[in-house]
A and B are shown apart, each in its own frame.
Chain A
Amino acid sequence: MIWSPAAGSIALLTTGGWGSAMLVGLARSLTIALGAFGLGLLIGIAGALGKLSGGAVTRQALDLYTTIVRSVPELVLILVVYFAGADLINGVLTALGQAKIDFNGAIAGIVVLGVVQGAYSTEVIRGAILSVPRGQIEAAQAYGMSSWLALRRITLPAMLPFALPGLSNLWLIAMKDTALLAVLGFGELTQVTRQAAGTTKAYFTFFFAAGCMYLLATMISNLLSRRLEARATRGTAHV
């Protein structure tokens, strides 16, 4: 390969279809990240409530889950969840007399990353719920609200300003962690980039272009989350 100046790099990206393949990869990455973040949020809310008001066994089981996820590398976790998940689903399918399925695609990526995100979400939301003044929840109980209604109307909206910084950070992590799925082959941005780079031998150009895409996604996310935070904390004193 000849060291190509900027014009040559742009030609590489625009012709040959690699540029558009990378955009498709980016869309796939963002879809997986969004799904994983959402799943993580659901696990996080359930996990935080379990940690705060569950029984001893629930609490300890959740402690085990968050501790393990937060000290084992994501790459290892992704492999374990992926293989175990595939074995579990195929085991169930075989037991039901169905044919095995190829456990692949965006759903698998979402589940695998969602389980990892869930552990971090649990801690963020748990901390945020603890920051809600106790009196607000007591007042809701005094009004005769059921615990579900109090959760929906008081606890969750009131904890949101405290949770937002942590959650926006988690969203950034979700986006970057989708790159790890390249190791398993999900056709997301990093894997497509590696294919493009390997085929054209223009490693620097393609990895650099992919870096710019990730960076742009991060910066736009930062902008949005700053707005969201400003909106969520309106009317409260800024520290």
Chain B
Amino acid sequence: MSSALDATAREARAGTRRRWLDAGTLTPVIAAILFGTYAALQMRWDWLETYYPLLLRGLGMTVLLVVVTSSLGMLLAIPIGLVQVVGPKWLALPARAFCTVIRGTPLLLQLWLLYYGLGSLFPQFPWIRDSALWPILRQAWPYAFLGLTLSYAAYEGEVFRGAFKGVPKGQLDAAKAYGMSGLLMFRRIWLPQAFKRAMPTLAGETILQLKATPLVATITVIDVYSVAAQVRQQTYLTYEPLLLISAIYILMAVVITKVFARLSGQGRDNTAFSRS
């Protein structure tokens, strides 16, 4: 495997050099210029004037969804990964089942099960209908946030299971030998090392989370995709809104890659686009 890793690293380095010194990005740049000119001259963009406030609002929702559900999902993923490695059976089994079920079914179906399924069950219970939470539970966004959070937690929980397992036993033995308590050992040794191992997957997982957000449009949450769909229905323009939001999603993916590369402090992150 080491030769393979070398090859990848060499290639990555060559790739970086190619990108900046040679005319490496010539084809994409020419394609972008040609396409941009075509889009500007041949396509209709006058609808932007009417729809840009709505687009901005949708964009805000998309960003909020990614940031909130990724952060919450991450907080959930750590215990889910941990109990599968050290937890008692009655905690490890449900965590394992949770990961299998969420990862084994389409997110679209999960969202519909939560929104339409739970949403149709809730009104039958008077104590839910009478509770102070009912006005919130009747809206769509709590289900969108819940569904996306659980999804992120399951995929990243699986990563953390491997990460906790992968920390060499000698490290933990050494911590014990120093007389560290369980909690201190976890905080100072185990968690930081597991985190370092999980770090390369985080950017990719967050981009996947970004790519999953348009699904919430199917349960009536207004994100940037749903605005594009609305423009398509009202103006009969097929490609313009879809191309605009494609460009927005690509830009957001670039931003996510950069942010995580910065966080991990390792410069360019080549794993950012890999799908787990």
Contacts and interface: CB of A to CB of B under 8 A. Distances in A.
Contact of B28 (A1, A64, A72): A64
Given A83-B238, A180-B215, 19 more contacts: A1-B120, A60-B25, A64-B31, A72-B250, A73-B210, A75-B214, A76-B214, A76-B228, A76-B246, A80-B243, A83-B242, A84-B239, A131-B1, A131-B4, A133-B3, A169-B276, A190-B106, A203-B112, A215-B101
A173 interface: yes
A201 interface: yes
Interface of B: 1, 3-4, 7-8, 11, 24-28, 31, 100-101, 103-110, 112-113, 116-121, 124, 207, 210-215, 218, 225, 228, 238-239, 242-243, 245-246, 249-250, 253-254, 273-276
B211 A73 contact: yes
Contacts of A211: 101, 105, 109-110, 113
B121 A204 contact: yes
A222 B34 CA distance: 45
A179 B120 contact: no
A71 to B, nearest CB: 4
A207 B113 contact: yes
B246 to A, nearest CB: 5
Interface of A: 1-3, 56-57, 60-61, 63-64, 66-68, 70-77, 79-80, 83-84, 120, 123, 127, 130-131, 133-134, 162, 169, 172-173, 176-180, 182-183, 190, 193-194, 197, 201, 203-204, 207-208, 210-211, 214-215, 218-219, 239
Contacts of A214: 104-106, 109
Contacts of A190: 106, 108-109, 112
A134 B28 CA distance: 30
A207 B245 CA distance: 30
11 contacts: A2-B124, A3-B124, A60-B26, A61-B31, A76-B246, A120-B275, A172-B104, A182-B108, A203-B119, A211-B110, A218-B103
Contact of B218 (A73, A183, A215): A183
Given A72-B246, A72-B250, A207 B104 contact: no
Contacts of A204: 113, 117-118, 120-121
A83 B239 contact: yes
Given A73-B213, A79-B242, A208-B117, A219 B104 contact: yes
A176 B250 contact: no
Nearest to A69: B273
Nearest to A131: B4
A178 to B, nearest CB: 8
Contact of A71 (B3, B25, B112, B250): B250
Question: Which of B207, B245, B273 gathers most chain A CB within 10 Å?
Answer: B273
Contacts of B274: 123
Contact of B27 (A2, A60, A180, A201): A60
B131 to A, nearest CB: 18
